[in-house]
Chains A and B, each alone.
Chain A
Amino acid sequence: MASRVAARSLVCTRRMSAACSRQSSSGQAAPRDTAPKRSIFRPEATSTHDWIGPPNPLSNLRPIVYHVPENETELEKRLRHLRQDTEDWNHEFWTKQNVMFTKEKDAFIFSQLNAKGLSVCDEQGRRRALNAEEMAVFYKSFLDTNRVRHADYNREWYRRNFTITLLMARVALNNMWKTVTDRRGRKKSSTPTT
């Protein structure tokens, strides 16, 4: 099947691009320090691939540590930087979104309970919750106040996603081409290539 061939070729290109198996942890630490410190990751000593981690508790997004191959081309570097930048941007947006949502939700519950004259915790010490109809008012207002922000994020996310995928395709094609030409060069090493 075409998809299997594609998969295998993608796997091969990843292995091809990782010429050297050792990855210096100092090389990884430098971009990590400049990036917002949000995960306590200990870089793996030997790595030929990117690593993906557990979801961040605030943004629910999984951080990726990108593997820097030895002979990284300009295109690959651009791709890696774009992916890292998108990841950070995404993380920032979703952290802000989730924290804001939780804060506003609590403030809403608090104000509603106050209006009713109830305390935050009931007799058993558990937090009081409002019923679905009351909460629906908050959910609607949250969506309405953030409408433009969401639309902007959406547009930007689609743009970045497309660019990253296109770059990935270009890198994959480049690597495949390099592999093919290398093999051809090695086979016809005696005769000069045209």
Chain B
Amino acid sequence: MEIPQMMSVFQHGAILEGHLAQGAPPHIILHRGTPTSSCTGPLKLLEPALLFSWRCGSAPEVLLSTVRGLIGVSVKRKLVQNVPRCNQTARSLIQLYRRDQTNWLTYQHLNFLKRQYVTKNKSELHQRAVPKQAPALTILDEREDGVERQVQRISTIDPVVSQPEDVTNETPYVHVESEEAREARLDRQWKELKVNVTDLPDIYARLAKVKLTALVVTTAAAGFAMAPVPFDPLLFFVSCLGTGLASCTANSINQYFEVPFDSNMNRTKNRPLVRGQISPLHAVSFALACGVPGVALLTLAVNPLTGFLGALNIFLYTCCYTPLKRLSISNTWVGAIVGAIPPVMGWTAATGCLEPGALLLGGFLYSWQFPHFNALSWNLKEDYSRGGYRMMSVTHPGMCQRVALRHSVGLIGLSALAPVLDVTTWTFPLISLPINLYISYLAFRFYHKGNRNNARKLFFCSLWHLPMLLLLALTCKKPRRDPEDAALPSASLAS
């Protein structure tokens, strides 16, 4: 930095110190002393530090020492020192800053805020501008509103911020937003219900739960690959495509049915229909546009059995599983069947008939579903309860743990059944034993002590366990004996 710049920075530093000592928030301070733009550079560096320390409610000494570090290299060191003090807010703020350079806090943004704060401060220093509402309501919206306000004050980035884990640990947020500002902020969040064609691919991807669809297609592909017939790439591709389209349909209809429930659950409140990015009619049209060609493709290009299974799966998922979620815990079993059908579809696509081998692969998926879903739902009890979903983890927690354990152990049995049905060689139960034992061990721990940690461990294990199991099965696939080879010895014997 040149000397004149350094001097003015020093002056500003002194002014800042003075204001901070009085306890005013950093936004005003940064404004009152900065007529020249040459100082916005170093001050930009300072803003995060001041915001961090102020947000965390740390003592004025920290702030003052931060200001004193303005001159020289110590600025950056102070920033680093302050960051570990308040991890949560720091992380989220850093994320915001790193996300988009063009949305960095600039002079213009602060200028806008200054107008509010200066007016507010001229009257009197309020801790809270709005009298605190009834506790029942604040607890409800504490999480959402607190995060939203935090984001809005810092920048005009879209408020997509990861929720703080523990709301109770957050220091009370000083609410100095005036009514006009709050209304203005809420007004800005109104969006026109107009379909933006450029956004459509992204919206469709989220509507169809494209990641889940990809996993479903993978299991169907595994079913196809495990079938004891010569591998036909074109048929493989067509059946994967058909399965994918059917899965997109089912997911879209599911989201269409569940709009008000999804809005109330944290996990699902950013779905396209909840946010109004497309209309319900549009979602249904998309579902039909995927489903009709998908099922037709499966029926005509593959075989009618696969087409029937695809249609059955769509029906089970949309008309049985989705409504049942709110009526009875048997939804989990129906959901397990829904998950088991894709590999069966893959097998029938390859062979054209329903064989025990197909049912075994379906059995793998069916049994796997229970440790996976029970562990996932264990940590979402509050959301499920408030949304009115009847899940085992909420209504019958003991059964939830038992069933997860039972089916994890059952996977070992199913792996042993594979060579008996000529699906794989005897190597498969042996090499899959370690991972099956591991998931059974985690399920046992979950059964023994059902706490959040065990549930989370079991869930994450199930995520890698299934792909590994299918991969091992594929590597141990029973080598196909050609019918000509079988015919030759008998022919030679005859002659």
Contact = CB atoms under 8 A, between A and B. Distances in A.
A164 B197 CA distance: 24
Contacts of B457: none
B171 to A, nearest CB: 10
A21 interface: no
Interface in B307-335: 323, 326-327
B183 interface: yes
- Report whether over half of chain A's contact residues are helix, strand or loop; otherwise say mixed: helix
Interface in B84-133: none
Interface stretch (B24-32, B135-143, B228-236, B435-443): B135-143
A2 to B, nearest CB: 4
Nearest to A3: B289
Q: Which of A59, A64, A132: most chain B CB closer than 10 A?
A: A132
B191 A60 contact: no
B140 A52 contact: no
B351 interface: no
A40 B282 contact: no
A99 B194 contact: no
Contacts of B153: none
Interface stretch (B36-44, B273-281, B486-494): B273-281
A54 B194 contact: no
Contacts, number: 165
A139 B382 contact: yes
Nearest to B325: A154
Nearest to A47: B192
B327 A154 contact: yes
B140 A58 contact: yes
A162 B194 CA distance: 22
Q: Which of B136, B197, B286, B452: most chain A CB closer than 10 A?
A: B136
A7 to B, nearest CB: 6
Contacts of A8: 197
A136 B394 contact: yes
Interface in A85-135: 90, 94, 97-99, 101-103, 106, 126-127, 129, 132-133, 135
Q: Which of A8, A44, A55, A103: most chain B CB closer than 10 A?
A: A55
Contact of B395 (A65, A127, A140, A165): A140
Given A97-B388, A140-B394, A164-B280, A2 B289 contact: yes
B382 A157 contact: no
A10 B279 contact: yes
A127 B169 CA distance: 10
A10 B282 contact: yes
Q: Which of B192, B275, B385, B397: most chain A CB closer than 10 A?
A: B385
Interface in B356-403: 381-382, 384-386, 388, 390, 394-395, 397
A73 interface: no
B263 interface: yes
A32 interface: no
A3 B286 contact: yes
B9 to A, nearest CB: 39
Interface residues of B, number: 59
B200 interface: yes
B386 A154 contact: no
Contact of A165 (B137, B192, B280, B323): B280
Interface in A21-45: 39-42, 44
Nearest to A93: B260
A39 B195 CA distance: 24
B301 to A, nearest CB: 18
Nearest to A154: B326
Nearest to A54: B189
B186 interface: yes
A153 to B, nearest CB: 8
Nearest to B188: A54
A138 B135 CA distance: 19
B269 A150 contact: no
Given A139-B394, A150-B326, A168-B279, A127 B168 contact: yes
Contacts of A4: 200
Contact of A51 (B193, B281, B450): B193
Given A106-B139, A154-B326, A7 B189 contact: no
Contact of A139 (B135, B141, B263, B385): B385
14 contacts: A3-B289, A7-B282, A42-B183, A44-B190, A62-B275, A65-B190, A90-B260, A99-B140, A127-B168, A139-B394, A143-B390, A143-B395, A154-B323, A168-B279
Given A132-B452, A154-B327, 8 more contacts: A2-B289, A3-B204, A51-B190, A51-B193, A129-B168, A139-B394, A140-B394, A151-B326
